[in-house]
Amino acid sequence: MAQALIDHIDPEAILLGVNADSNEAVIRQLASRLEALGYVKPSYADAVVKREQTMPTGLPLGLAENVAVPHTDPIHVNKAGVGLAVLAKPVDFANMEEPDEAVSVGIVFLLAINDKDKQIEMLQKIMGTIQSPEALAALKQAASVDDIRAVLS
Amino acid sequence: MARQKTILFACGTGVATSTAVNATVTEAMKARGLTFNAMQCKATEVASLAEGVDLIISTTPISASVTVPIVKGLAFLTGIGKDKALDDIEAELRK
């Protein structure tokens, strides 16, 4: 049976109302959570931050607050998972396709991927969510992990 | 029947967004009656792999030295311009 996106996201790796001044701060908050939960290695956070500087992951959706999907090489990952941060105020990520452009981001999916062939469905679910303005608006409104679960189930 | 074409899917790590784009394009082309060989790679590997493929679909910028046709993959992540990108891919596959 197909799994919902929420089944791929550890409830402990969902952060709501995140106050951060930079994309690096958001990535480090989420990465430390994924590390504490055993999904990623201690090298993961630095690797994601470094990669974001050269190969950014901001996705321009034509919205006031858009989405970013930071991630890095599988060697820094123990097991597949996703961290989700909903930000109290948006931070800038660079545009994946036009790295010189900034994208204002309000929702961050931090991806821990170790076997792409097994994580196709998870990635497609994330992209499906990103392409739904209704789902994104509901995530922004979420006051609890249960609210998030309702959107992503 | 024409030779099966090869599409190279590229992204920063070769595992995340190129996987999602590959899956989406494969499904959409199947619906249009088209199949192709799929390869995936990191953006840094494109220049060395470009020879021998018919089309590159990338979510990250590709070096201008690559002469193979390129379709931008961001449309499949954001949903914006997706139909146009699919039409472009279909046109390349039917060449």
Unique residue bearing structure tokens 């089944």 = A7
User: H-type helices in A37-117, by residue range?
Assistant: 44-54
pLDDT of residue B1: 55
What is the helix (H) or strand (E) element at residue B29, kind and residue range?
A: helix B17-31
ipTM for the assembly = 0.90
Residue A3's pLDDT band, with cuts at 50, 70 and 90, is confident
* Domains assigned to chain A: 5-152 (3.40.930.10)
Cβ of A74 and B15 within 8 Å? yes
Summarised one tens digit per residue, pLDDT across range B13-46 is 999 999 999 999 999 999 999 999 999 999 999 9
pTM, two decimal places: 0.95
pLDDT of residue A13: 97
Residue of B nearest to A123 (CA): B20
Q: How far is CA A65 from CA A26, A124, A150, B29, in A?
A: 15, 21, 21, 32
**The token pair that represents A106 in the structure block:** 């309000």
Q: Which of A88, A77, A95 lies closest to A37 in space, CA to CA?
A: A77
Mutation target among A48, A55, A72 for the B interface, most CBs of B within 10 A = A55
Cβ-based burial of A11 (10 A; exposed 0-12, middle 13-18, buried ≥19): exposed
**pLDDT above 90 (res A125):** yes
B5 contact A CB<8A: no
| A:B CB pairs within 8 Å | 75
Summarised one tens digit per residue, pLDDT across range A43-101 is 999 999 999 999 999 999 999 999 999 999 999 999 999 999 999 999 999 999 999 99
**The token pair that represents A33 in the structure block:** 């959570």
* Domains assigned to chain B: 6-94 (3.40.50.2300)
Enumerate residues 88 to 127 of chain A having a beta carbon within 8 A of any beta carbon in chain B.
96-99, 111, 113, 116-117, 119-120, 123-124, 126-127
B contacts of A113 (beta carbons < 8 Å):
13, 15-16, 19
Cβ of A96 and B77 within 8 Å? yes
Cβ of B60 and A131 within 8 Å? no
**The token pair that represents B50 in the structure block:** 């470009």
pLDDT of residue B2: 67
Summarised one tens digit per residue, pLDDT across range B64-92 is 889 999 999 999 999 999 999 999 999 99
- Span A116-122, average pLDDT: 88
